[in-house]
Amino acid sequence: MTIKRPFGTGSFAIVVLTLGFLFNFKFQNDFMLSHYLFKLFNWDIYTNDTEGFHIPFMAAIVFWLPAVIISKKYPNNFGTSLCYRVGGVMLILSIVVFAVYLFGTLL
């Protein structure tokens, strides 16, 4: 017997998680929303001009953190357990990359 979970506020975490993946997804003609926004604001995409850490990947923390918080706050809604796990992994990965970047710049 499966438990049917209702759509609710916690299900919004699916939308936030999807936006996080679409933020760095490479679309047709090599279009990436993150690169477009970074170029629009005249920010560097990589830490060393054309190589190094991919800063938009670290900026996606803005999406991973709310997805984890929403899914943790409303655990009985549809999709929250998946969003909590996937968002948590992506959040930890982004934080580790960000910490390595900061540690490397301090040396």
Tokens 């926004």 found at: 37
**The total number of structural domains that make up the chain:** 1
46: β partners: 49, 54
DSSP-based helix, strand, coil % in the chain, nearest 5 = 65, 5, 25
pLDDT at 1: 60
Domain span including residue 35? 11-106
Residue 1: inside a domain: no
pLDDT at 55: 86
* Pair of tokens at residue 66: 């709310």
pLDDT along the chain (107 residues), means of 10: 79 93 92 93 85 85 94 90 94 90 78
